[in-house]
Protein backbone atom coordinates (compact mmCIF):
# COMPACT_ATOMS: atom_id res chain seq x y z
CA UNK A 1 0.00 0.00 0.00
CA UNK A 2 2.85 2.27 1.04
CA UNK A 3 4.19 2.09 -2.57
CA UNK A 4 1.20 3.88 -4.07
CA UNK A 5 2.28 7.26 -2.82
CA UNK A 6 5.32 7.15 -5.15
CA UNK A 7 5.10 7.73 -8.89
CA UNK A 8 7.86 5.24 -9.65
CA UNK A 9 9.94 2.69 -7.81
CA UNK A 10 13.61 2.89 -8.72
CA UNK A 11 16.23 0.44 -7.53
CA UNK A 12 19.99 0.59 -7.66
CA UNK A 13 21.99 -2.60 -7.17
CA UNK A 14 25.45 -1.74 -5.81
CA UNK A 15 25.85 0.87 -3.05
CA UNK A 16 29.39 1.97 -3.84
CA UNK A 17 31.06 5.22 -4.90
CA UNK A 18 28.66 5.52 -7.83
CA UNK A 19 25.42 3.87 -6.68
CA UNK A 20 25.23 5.67 -3.33
CA UNK A 21 25.82 9.28 -4.42
CA UNK A 22 23.90 8.93 -7.71
CA UNK A 23 20.79 7.60 -6.03
CA UNK A 24 21.04 10.09 -3.16
CA UNK A 25 20.95 12.93 -5.67
CA UNK A 26 18.05 11.45 -7.66
CA UNK A 27 16.14 10.98 -4.39
CA UNK A 28 16.89 14.50 -3.19
CA UNK A 29 15.79 16.00 -6.52
CA UNK A 30 12.76 13.75 -7.07
CA UNK A 31 10.66 13.21 -3.93
CA UNK A 32 7.96 11.66 -6.13
CA UNK A 33 10.08 8.52 -6.70
CA UNK A 34 10.89 5.82 -4.22
CA UNK A 35 14.59 5.05 -4.48
CA UNK A 36 16.06 1.91 -2.94
CA UNK A 37 19.77 1.10 -2.95
CA UNK A 38 20.78 -2.48 -2.22
CA UNK A 39 24.10 -4.20 -1.72
CA UNK A 40 25.31 -7.62 -0.68
CA UNK A 41 27.62 -5.96 1.83
CA UNK A 42 25.81 -5.53 5.14
CA UNK A 43 28.61 -3.29 6.45
CA UNK A 44 28.16 -0.89 3.54
CA UNK A 45 24.40 -0.75 3.95
CA UNK A 46 24.68 -0.23 7.71
CA UNK A 47 27.08 2.63 7.06
CA UNK A 48 24.72 4.23 4.51
CA UNK A 49 22.03 4.07 7.19
CA UNK A 50 24.30 5.70 9.78
CA UNK A 51 25.88 9.10 10.31
CA UNK A 52 29.21 7.77 9.15
CA UNK A 53 28.74 7.07 5.44
CA UNK A 54 30.91 4.35 3.86
CA UNK A 55 32.64 6.86 1.55
CA UNK A 56 33.94 10.36 2.11
CA UNK A 57 32.57 12.79 -0.45
CA UNK A 58 32.15 16.52 0.24
CA UNK A 59 28.48 17.50 0.69
CA UNK A 60 27.22 13.92 0.43
CA UNK A 61 25.91 13.58 3.97
CA UNK A 62 23.74 16.68 3.54
CA UNK A 63 22.18 15.21 0.40
CA UNK A 64 21.58 11.83 2.04
CA UNK A 65 19.98 13.56 5.04
CA UNK A 66 17.44 15.32 2.80
CA UNK A 67 16.02 12.08 1.44
CA UNK A 68 16.94 9.14 3.67
CA UNK A 69 13.82 7.64 5.24
CA UNK A 70 11.62 9.88 3.07
CA UNK A 71 12.11 8.39 -0.38
CA UNK A 72 15.64 6.99 -0.12
CA UNK A 73 16.21 3.59 1.45
CA UNK A 74 19.30 1.42 1.85
CA UNK A 75 18.84 -2.31 2.25
CA UNK A 76 20.41 -5.73 1.79
CA UNK A 77 17.16 -7.28 0.57
CA UNK A 78 18.26 -7.49 -3.06
CA UNK A 79 15.59 -9.96 -4.12
CA UNK A 80 12.64 -8.21 -2.46
CA UNK A 81 13.70 -4.86 -3.86
CA UNK A 82 13.95 -6.25 -7.41
CA UNK A 83 10.38 -7.46 -7.45
CA UNK A 84 9.16 -4.00 -6.31
CA UNK A 85 11.08 -1.93 -8.89
CA UNK A 86 10.10 -0.57 -12.35
CA UNK A 87 13.56 0.75 -13.18
CA UNK A 88 16.75 -0.97 -12.00
CA UNK A 89 20.14 0.69 -12.17
CA UNK A 90 23.03 -1.74 -11.92
CA UNK A 91 26.13 -0.20 -10.41
CA UNK A 92 28.12 -3.18 -9.25
CA UNK A 93 31.89 -3.30 -9.60
CA UNK A 94 33.45 -4.34 -12.89
CA UNK A 95 37.13 -4.83 -12.01
CA UNK A 96 39.89 -6.06 -14.28
CA UNK A 97 39.78 -9.82 -14.67
CA UNK A 98 42.53 -11.57 -12.74
CA UNK A 99 42.19 -15.07 -14.15
CA UNK A 100 41.66 -17.02 -17.37
CA UNK A 101 41.22 -15.50 -20.82
CA UNK A 102 41.91 -11.76 -20.85
CA UNK A 103 43.44 -11.82 -17.35
CA UNK A 104 44.96 -8.43 -16.49
CA UNK A 105 42.98 -6.59 -19.17
CA UNK A 106 39.40 -7.68 -19.77
CA UNK A 107 36.57 -6.59 -17.48
CA UNK A 108 35.44 -9.19 -14.97
CA UNK A 109 31.71 -9.37 -15.61
CA UNK A 110 30.84 -12.04 -13.06
CA UNK A 111 29.14 -9.57 -10.67
CA UNK A 112 27.17 -8.07 -13.53
CA UNK A 113 26.01 -11.41 -14.87
CA UNK A 114 25.06 -12.63 -11.40
CA UNK A 115 22.97 -9.52 -10.96
CA UNK A 116 21.21 -10.07 -14.30
CA UNK A 117 20.32 -13.62 -13.29
CA UNK A 118 18.98 -12.48 -9.91
CA UNK A 119 16.85 -9.86 -11.69
CA UNK A 120 15.28 -12.52 -13.92
CA UNK A 121 14.67 -14.82 -10.98
CA UNK A 122 12.92 -12.18 -8.88
CA UNK A 123 10.80 -10.47 -11.55
CA UNK A 124 7.26 -11.28 -12.47
CA UNK A 125 6.93 -8.42 -14.97
CA UNK A 126 9.19 -6.62 -17.44
CA UNK A 127 11.53 -3.86 -16.22
CA UNK A 128 13.97 -1.29 -17.50
CA UNK A 129 17.54 -2.28 -16.67
CA UNK A 130 20.07 0.52 -16.70
CA UNK A 131 23.78 -0.18 -17.06
CA UNK A 132 25.36 2.33 -14.69
CA UNK A 133 28.59 0.39 -14.24
CA UNK A 134 31.26 0.96 -16.87
CA UNK A 135 31.10 -1.99 -19.24
CA UNK A 136 32.80 -3.21 -22.40
CA UNK A 137 31.06 -2.10 -25.57
CA UNK A 138 28.39 -4.63 -26.59
CA UNK A 139 27.75 -5.88 -23.04
CA UNK A 140 24.12 -4.81 -23.35
CA UNK A 141 23.62 -7.52 -25.99
CA UNK A 142 24.83 -10.24 -23.60
CA UNK A 143 22.73 -8.81 -20.80
CA UNK A 144 19.65 -8.74 -22.93
CA UNK A 145 20.17 -12.36 -23.87
CA UNK A 146 20.47 -13.44 -20.25
CA UNK A 147 17.52 -11.32 -19.14
CA UNK A 148 15.20 -12.21 -21.98
CA UNK A 149 15.96 -15.94 -22.04
CA UNK A 150 13.24 -16.52 -19.48
CA UNK A 151 10.20 -18.73 -19.53
CA UNK A 152 8.00 -16.15 -17.79
CA UNK A 153 7.24 -14.38 -21.04
CA UNK A 154 8.50 -11.05 -19.72
CA UNK A 155 10.67 -8.56 -21.58
CA UNK A 156 13.52 -6.49 -20.19
CA UNK A 157 14.85 -3.40 -21.93
CA UNK A 158 18.54 -2.64 -21.37
CA UNK A 159 19.76 0.96 -21.43
CA UNK A 160 23.31 2.24 -21.09
CA UNK A 161 23.62 5.29 -18.83
CA UNK A 162 27.31 5.57 -17.96
CA UNK A 163 28.34 7.71 -15.03
CA UNK A 164 30.87 10.52 -15.50
CA UNK A 165 31.18 11.79 -11.91
CA UNK A 166 34.65 12.22 -10.44
CA UNK A 167 35.36 11.40 -6.83
CA UNK A 168 35.83 14.38 -4.56
CA UNK A 169 33.32 16.36 -6.63
CA UNK A 170 30.64 13.68 -7.00
CA UNK A 171 27.78 15.71 -5.55
CA UNK A 172 28.55 18.79 -7.63
CA UNK A 173 29.04 16.63 -10.75
CA UNK A 174 25.68 14.93 -10.19
CA UNK A 175 23.82 18.17 -9.52
CA UNK A 176 25.35 19.91 -12.55
CA UNK A 177 26.56 17.29 -15.02
CA UNK A 178 28.24 18.40 -18.26
CA UNK A 179 25.92 15.88 -19.87
CA UNK A 180 23.88 12.80 -19.10
CA UNK A 181 24.21 10.08 -21.71
CA UNK A 182 21.46 7.56 -22.35
CA UNK A 183 21.90 4.82 -24.93
CA UNK A 184 19.07 2.57 -26.02
CA UNK A 185 18.13 0.15 -28.73
CA UNK A 186 16.44 2.05 -31.52
CA UNK A 187 13.33 -0.12 -31.36
CA UNK A 188 9.89 0.98 -30.20
CA UNK A 189 10.38 -0.54 -26.74
CA UNK A 190 13.95 0.74 -26.56
CA UNK A 191 12.91 4.31 -27.32
CA UNK A 192 10.04 4.09 -24.83
CA UNK A 193 12.41 2.95 -22.09
CA UNK A 194 14.82 5.72 -23.01
CA UNK A 195 12.04 8.29 -22.54
CA UNK A 196 11.42 7.01 -19.02
CA UNK A 197 15.05 7.60 -18.09
CA UNK A 198 15.11 11.00 -19.81
CA UNK A 199 12.07 11.97 -17.74
CA UNK A 200 13.86 11.04 -14.51
CA UNK A 201 16.93 13.17 -15.27
CA UNK A 202 14.84 16.02 -16.67
CA UNK A 203 13.72 16.71 -13.10
CA UNK A 204 16.93 18.72 -12.68
CA UNK A 205 19.14 18.41 -15.79
CA UNK A 206 18.33 20.76 -18.71
CA UNK A 207 17.06 18.86 -21.76
CA UNK A 208 19.90 20.04 -23.99
CA UNK A 209 22.35 18.31 -21.66
CA UNK A 210 20.57 14.98 -21.85
CA UNK A 211 22.16 13.20 -24.80
CA UNK A 212 20.64 10.13 -26.35
CA UNK A 213 22.40 7.66 -28.61
CA UNK A 214 22.42 4.06 -29.61
CA UNK A 215 23.37 1.71 -26.82
CA UNK A 216 26.78 0.80 -28.27
CA UNK A 217 27.82 4.43 -28.62
CA UNK A 218 26.90 5.08 -24.99
CA UNK A 219 28.92 2.10 -23.78
CA UNK A 220 31.92 3.03 -25.90
CA UNK A 221 31.72 6.75 -25.02
CA UNK A 222 32.36 5.98 -21.37
CA UNK A 223 35.56 4.01 -22.06
CA UNK A 224 36.63 6.65 -24.57
CA UNK A 225 36.05 9.56 -22.16
CA UNK A 226 38.23 7.96 -19.50
CA UNK A 227 40.89 7.05 -22.06
CA UNK A 228 41.03 10.65 -23.34
CA UNK A 229 41.21 12.11 -19.82
CA UNK A 230 43.99 9.74 -18.78
CA UNK A 231 45.79 10.37 -22.07
CA UNK A 232 46.01 14.08 -21.28
CA UNK A 233 47.65 13.35 -17.95
CA UNK A 234 50.14 10.94 -19.51
CA UNK A 235 50.83 13.51 -22.23
CA UNK A 236 51.65 16.29 -19.78
CA UNK A 237 53.59 13.87 -17.56
CA UNK A 238 55.72 12.85 -20.54
CA UNK A 239 56.48 16.53 -21.10
CA UNK A 240 57.34 16.95 -17.41
CA UNK A 241 60.22 14.51 -17.92
CA UNK A 242 61.47 16.55 -20.88
CA UNK A 243 61.12 19.81 -18.90
CA UNK A 244 63.43 18.47 -16.22
CA UNK A 245 66.12 17.93 -18.87
CA UNK A 246 65.70 21.25 -20.65
CA UNK A 247 64.99 23.88 -17.94
CA UNK A 248 61.50 24.38 -19.30
CA UNK A 249 58.76 24.57 -16.65
CA UNK A 250 55.83 22.18 -17.05
CA UNK A 251 53.37 24.59 -15.37
CA UNK A 252 54.32 27.28 -17.86
CA UNK A 253 54.03 24.87 -20.77
CA UNK A 254 50.63 23.65 -19.54
CA UNK A 255 49.40 27.22 -19.20
CA UNK A 256 50.65 28.15 -22.65
CA UNK A 257 49.05 25.21 -24.42
CA UNK A 258 45.90 25.24 -22.28
CA UNK A 259 45.06 28.78 -23.39
CA UNK A 260 44.54 27.41 -26.87
CA UNK A 261 40.79 26.83 -26.87
CA UNK A 262 41.25 23.77 -29.03
CA UNK A 263 43.32 22.17 -26.27
CA UNK A 264 41.67 23.64 -23.16
CA UNK A 265 43.22 24.05 -19.74
CA UNK A 266 41.84 21.16 -17.71
CA UNK A 267 43.55 17.85 -16.95
CA UNK A 268 46.97 19.29 -17.66
CA UNK A 269 48.43 19.06 -14.16
CA UNK A 270 51.63 17.07 -14.10
CA UNK A 271 51.60 14.54 -11.29
CA UNK A 272 53.32 11.52 -9.88
CA UNK A 273 50.78 9.57 -11.93
CA UNK A 274 47.06 9.16 -12.24
CA UNK A 275 45.26 6.78 -9.93
CA UNK A 276 41.68 5.89 -9.12
CA UNK A 277 39.65 2.78 -9.65
CA UNK A 278 38.80 3.42 -13.28
CA UNK A 279 41.38 4.99 -15.60
CA UNK A 280 43.74 2.02 -15.70
CA UNK A 281 40.98 -0.58 -15.62
CA UNK A 282 38.99 1.11 -18.39
CA UNK A 283 41.99 1.65 -20.66
CA UNK A 284 43.07 -1.98 -20.22
CA UNK A 285 39.53 -2.96 -21.08
CA UNK A 286 39.65 -0.78 -24.21
CA UNK A 287 42.99 -2.34 -25.16
CA UNK A 288 41.54 -5.83 -24.73
CA UNK A 289 38.49 -5.02 -26.82
CA UNK A 290 40.68 -3.62 -29.62
CA UNK A 291 42.87 -6.72 -29.52
CA UNK A 292 39.85 -8.97 -29.70
CA UNK A 293 38.75 -7.17 -32.88
CA UNK A 294 42.28 -7.52 -34.33
CA UNK A 295 42.98 -3.79 -33.98
CA UNK A 296 46.51 -4.16 -32.69
CA UNK A 297 47.72 -0.68 -33.63
CA UNK A 298 44.83 0.88 -31.77
CA UNK A 299 45.48 -1.34 -28.77
CA UNK A 300 49.17 -0.39 -28.60
CA UNK A 301 48.29 3.31 -28.94
CA UNK A 302 46.08 3.30 -25.82
CA UNK A 303 48.34 0.95 -23.91
CA UNK A 304 51.05 3.61 -24.08
CA UNK A 305 48.96 5.83 -21.78
CA UNK A 306 49.41 3.25 -19.02
CA UNK A 307 53.08 2.65 -19.83
CA UNK A 308 53.73 6.39 -19.46
CA UNK A 309 51.89 6.43 -16.13
CA UNK A 310 54.05 3.59 -14.82
CA UNK A 311 57.16 5.38 -16.07
CA UNK A 312 56.19 8.53 -14.18
CA UNK A 313 55.96 6.60 -10.90
CA UNK A 314 59.27 4.78 -11.54
CA UNK A 315 60.97 8.02 -12.42
CA UNK A 316 59.73 9.72 -9.25
CA UNK A 317 61.36 7.09 -7.04
CA UNK A 318 64.49 7.00 -9.21
CA UNK A 319 64.91 10.76 -8.63
CA UNK A 320 64.48 10.35 -4.88
CA UNK A 321 67.08 7.63 -4.78
CA UNK A 322 69.55 9.50 -6.98
CA UNK A 323 69.46 12.81 -5.13
CA UNK A 324 69.48 11.21 -1.69
CA UNK A 325 72.99 9.98 -2.42
CA UNK A 326 71.89 6.69 -4.03
CA UNK A 327 70.69 5.13 -0.84
CA UNK A 328 67.52 5.48 1.15
CA UNK A 329 67.99 2.32 3.21
CA UNK A 330 67.07 3.06 6.82
CA UNK A 331 66.00 6.62 6.00
CA UNK A 332 62.59 7.80 7.16
CA UNK A 333 60.43 9.08 4.34
CA UNK A 334 57.08 10.72 5.05
CA UNK A 335 54.40 10.33 2.40
CA UNK A 336 52.12 13.36 2.55
CA UNK A 337 48.80 11.99 1.30
CA UNK A 338 47.79 8.50 0.27
CA UNK A 339 44.41 9.05 -1.45
CA UNK A 340 44.54 8.95 -5.27
CA UNK A 341 43.42 12.61 -5.33
CA UNK A 342 42.32 15.23 -2.82
CA UNK A 343 38.88 15.27 -1.18
CA UNK A 344 38.44 11.52 -1.11
CA UNK A 345 39.47 8.70 1.19
CA UNK A 346 39.67 6.33 -1.80
CA UNK A 347 43.09 4.82 -2.44
CA UNK A 348 42.25 2.44 -5.28
CA UNK A 349 45.20 2.42 -7.73
CA UNK A 350 46.65 5.41 -5.90
CA UNK A 351 50.17 6.17 -7.14
CA UNK A 352 51.10 6.34 -3.44
CA UNK A 353 50.73 2.55 -3.21
CA UNK A 354 53.36 1.90 -5.86
CA UNK A 355 55.64 4.63 -4.55
CA UNK A 356 55.42 3.22 -0.99
CA UNK A 357 56.21 -0.28 -2.25
CA UNK A 358 59.20 0.89 -4.29
CA UNK A 359 60.55 2.85 -1.29
CA UNK A 360 60.10 -0.18 0.95
CA UNK A 361 62.00 -2.29 -1.61
CA UNK A 362 64.86 0.16 -1.12
CA UNK A 363 64.56 -0.45 2.64
CA UNK A 364 63.33 3.05 3.41
CA UNK A 365 61.27 3.52 6.59
CA UNK A 366 57.94 4.76 5.27
CA UNK A 367 55.48 6.83 7.29
CA UNK A 368 52.10 7.68 5.82
CA UNK A 369 49.89 10.62 6.69
CA UNK A 370 46.53 11.50 5.13
CA UNK A 371 43.44 13.28 6.50
CA UNK A 372 40.92 10.75 5.12
CA UNK A 373 42.69 7.71 3.71
CA UNK A 374 44.72 6.21 6.54
CA UNK A 375 42.33 3.32 7.07
CA UNK A 376 42.55 2.35 3.39
CA UNK A 377 46.32 2.90 3.39
CA UNK A 378 46.68 0.39 6.22
CA UNK A 379 44.80 -2.19 4.14
CA UNK A 380 46.82 -1.45 1.00
CA UNK A 381 50.14 -1.86 2.82
CA UNK A 382 49.12 -4.45 5.41
CA UNK A 383 51.83 -6.90 4.36
CA UNK A 384 54.52 -4.36 5.30
CA UNK A 385 54.55 -4.35 9.08
CA UNK A 386 57.20 -1.66 9.47
CA UNK A 387 55.13 1.10 7.79
CA UNK A 388 53.95 3.75 10.24
CA UNK A 389 50.77 5.80 10.03
CA UNK A 390 50.14 9.16 11.60
CA UNK A 391 47.22 11.46 10.97
CA UNK A 392 49.35 14.41 12.12
CA UNK A 393 51.71 15.51 9.30
CA UNK A 394 54.05 17.19 11.81
CA UNK A 395 54.57 13.90 13.63
CA UNK A 396 54.85 11.99 10.34
CA UNK A 397 57.68 14.28 9.25
CA UNK A 398 59.50 14.27 12.59
CA UNK A 399 62.99 12.82 12.14
CA UNK A 400 62.37 12.19 8.42
CA UNK A 401 65.02 12.64 5.74
CA UNK A 402 62.43 13.42 3.10
CA UNK A 403 58.80 14.30 2.48
CA UNK A 404 57.12 13.09 -0.70
CA UNK A 405 53.81 14.76 -1.54
CA UNK A 406 51.45 12.15 -2.99
CA UNK A 407 48.08 13.92 -2.75
CA UNK A 408 47.25 17.58 -3.34
CA UNK A 409 45.32 18.09 -0.08
CA UNK A 410 44.93 21.83 0.62
CA UNK A 411 46.09 21.33 4.18
CA UNK A 412 49.62 20.48 3.03
CA UNK A 413 49.96 23.95 1.54
CA UNK A 414 49.28 25.68 4.82
CA UNK A 415 51.55 23.77 7.19
CA UNK A 416 54.29 25.45 9.19
CA UNK A 417 57.22 24.17 7.13
CA UNK A 418 59.77 25.99 9.30
CA UNK A 419 58.62 23.85 12.23
CA UNK A 420 58.68 20.73 10.03
CA UNK A 421 62.17 21.54 8.73
CA UNK A 422 63.53 22.01 12.23
CA UNK A 423 62.33 18.55 13.24
CA UNK A 424 63.77 16.74 10.18
CA UNK A 425 67.17 15.19 9.48
CA UNK A 426 69.47 17.35 7.34
CA UNK A 427 69.84 17.76 4.46
CA UNK A 428 66.04 17.78 4.32
CA UNK A 429 64.33 16.93 1.02
CA UNK A 430 60.87 17.57 -0.37
CA UNK A 431 59.71 15.75 -3.49
CA UNK A 432 56.49 17.39 -4.63
CA UNK A 433 54.61 14.78 -6.66
CA UNK A 434 51.72 17.21 -7.16
CA UNK A 435 53.52 20.54 -7.61
CA UNK A 436 51.28 21.88 -4.92
CA UNK A 437 53.68 23.55 -2.44
CA UNK A 438 55.42 26.93 -2.48
CA UNK A 439 58.82 25.73 -3.70
CA UNK A 440 60.67 29.03 -3.37
CA UNK A 441 59.59 29.46 0.25
CA UNK A 442 60.57 25.89 1.10
CA UNK A 443 63.97 26.42 -0.46
CA UNK A 444 64.45 29.59 1.57
CA UNK A 445 63.65 27.68 4.75
CA UNK A 446 66.46 25.27 3.88
CA UNK A 447 64.77 22.37 2.09
CA UNK A 448 66.14 20.84 -1.09
CA UNK A 449 63.07 20.88 -3.28
CA UNK A 450 62.36 18.54 -6.19
CA UNK A 451 59.15 19.41 -8.03
CA UNK A 452 57.93 17.69 -11.18
CA UNK A 453 58.80 19.10 -14.57
CA UNK A 454 60.78 22.10 -13.38
CA UNK A 455 64.17 22.95 -11.97
CA UNK A 456 65.07 21.52 -8.61
CA UNK A 457 66.01 24.04 -5.88
CA UNK A 458 68.90 22.64 -3.92
CA UNK A 459 71.53 23.90 -1.53
CA UNK A 460 74.33 21.64 -2.75
Binding footprint of ligand UGA on the chain (CB under 6 A) = 134, 163-167, 226, 229, 233, 267-269, 271, 274-279, 340-341
* Nearer residue to ligand NAD within complex by CB, 73 or 447: 73
Partner whose footprint covers residue 251, from ligand UGA, ligand NAD, none (CB < 5 to 8 Å by kind): none
Measured from the CB atom, the residue of 372 and 401 that comes closer to ligand NAD is 372
**Cα distances (Å, whole numbers) of residue 72 to 69, 246, 442:** 6, 56, 49
State the DSSP string of 390-452.
Answer: -S-HHHHHTT-SEEEE-S--GGGTTS-HHHHHHTS-SS-EEEETT--S-HHHHHHHT-EEE-S
Site for ligand NAD in 203-242 (CB under 6 A): none
- Taking CB under 6 A as the rule, which mask of x and - marks residues 141-180 in contact with ligand NAD? ----------------------x-x-x-------------
Q: Does 93 bind ligand NAD (CB under 6 A)?
A: yes
Q: Is 243 a catalytic residue?
A: no
Q: How deeply is 76 buried, as exposed, middle or buried, from its count of CB atoms within 10 A (0-12, 13-18, 19+)?
A: middle
Residue 271 binds: one of ligand UGA, ligand NAD, none (C-beta under 5 to 8 A by kind)? ligand UGA
Measure the CA–CA gap between 81 and 282, rounded to whole angstroms. 30
State which of residues 9, 11, 12, 17 lies at the interface with ligand NAD (CB under 6 A): 17
- Residue of 12, 30, 243, 278 marked active site: 278
Interface with ligand NAD in residues 31-90 (CB under 6 A): 38-41, 44, 78
Rounded Cα distance between 331 and 247, Å, is 30
Distance, in Å, from the CA atom of 324 to the CA atom of 38, rounded to the nearest integer, reads 51
Which partner, ligand UGA, ligand NAD, none, binds residue 268 by CB below 5 to 8 Å per kind? ligand UGA
C-alpha–C-alpha distance, residues 59 and 169, integer Å? 9
Minimum distance, C-beta of residue 34 to ligand NAD, in the bound complex (Å): 18
Say how far apart CA 268 and CA 229 lie, in whole Å: 9
Nearer to ligand UGA, 185 or 271 (CB): 271
Q: What is the distance between the alpha carbons of residues 458 and 216, in angstroms, rounded to a whole number?
A: 53
**Site for ligand NAD contains 278 (CB under 6 A):** yes
128: exposed, middle or buried (Cβ count in 10 Å: 0-12, 13-18, 19+):
buried
CB-count burial class (<10 Å; 0-12, 13-18, 19+) for 277? buried
User: Of 11-19, 147-155, 253-261, 364-372, which part binds ligand NAD (CB under 6 A)?
Assistant: 11-19
Nearer to ligand UGA by Cβ, of 171 and 229: the residue is 229
Cα dihedral 72→76→79→83 (10° resolution)? -10
Smaller CB separation from ligand UGA, 119 or 270: 270
d(CA 307, CA 241): 14
> Pick from ligand NAD, ligand UGA, none: which does 341 bind, CB < 5 to 8 A by kind?
ligand UGA
d(CA 438, CA 442): 6
| Whole-angstrom distance, CA of residue 303 vs CA of residue 283 | 7
Residue of 92, 140, 215, 333 that binds ligand NAD (CB under 6 A):
92
Give the per-residue contact string, 123-142, with ligand NAD (x = CB under 6 A; - = no).
----------xx--------
270 three-class SS: coil
Query: 415 is in the binding site of which of ligand UGA, ligand NAD, none (Cβ under 5 to 8 A by kind)?
Result: none
Count of Cβ atoms closer than 10 Å to residue 52 Cβ: 9
| Contact partner, 275, from ligand UGA, ligand NAD, none, Cβ < 5-8 Å per class | ligand UGA
115 CB contacts (<8 Å, ≥6 apart)?
A: 13, 14, 90, 92
The option from ligand UGA, ligand NAD, none interacting with 353 (CB < 5 to 8 A, set by class) reads: none
| 111 is a site residue for ligand NAD (CB under 6 A) | yes
Task: Point out which residues bind ligand NAD (CB under 6 A).
Answer: 13-19, 38-41, 44, 78, 91-94, 111, 114-115, 133-134, 163, 165, 167, 277-278
Q: Which residues participate in catalysis according to the annotation?
A: 278
Amino acid sequence: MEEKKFKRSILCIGAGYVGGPTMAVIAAKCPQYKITVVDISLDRINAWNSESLPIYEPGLYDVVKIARGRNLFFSTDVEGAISDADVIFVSVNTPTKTFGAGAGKAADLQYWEKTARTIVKCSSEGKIIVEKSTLPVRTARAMERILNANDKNIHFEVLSNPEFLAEGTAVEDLYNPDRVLIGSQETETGLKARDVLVEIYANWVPHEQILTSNVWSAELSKLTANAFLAQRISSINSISALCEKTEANVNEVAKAIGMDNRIGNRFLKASVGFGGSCFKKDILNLVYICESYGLDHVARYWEAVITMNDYQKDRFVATMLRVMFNTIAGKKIALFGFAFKADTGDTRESPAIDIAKKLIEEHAVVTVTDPKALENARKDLNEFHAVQYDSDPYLAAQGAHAIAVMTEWDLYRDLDYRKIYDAMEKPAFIFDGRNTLDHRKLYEIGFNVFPLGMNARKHF
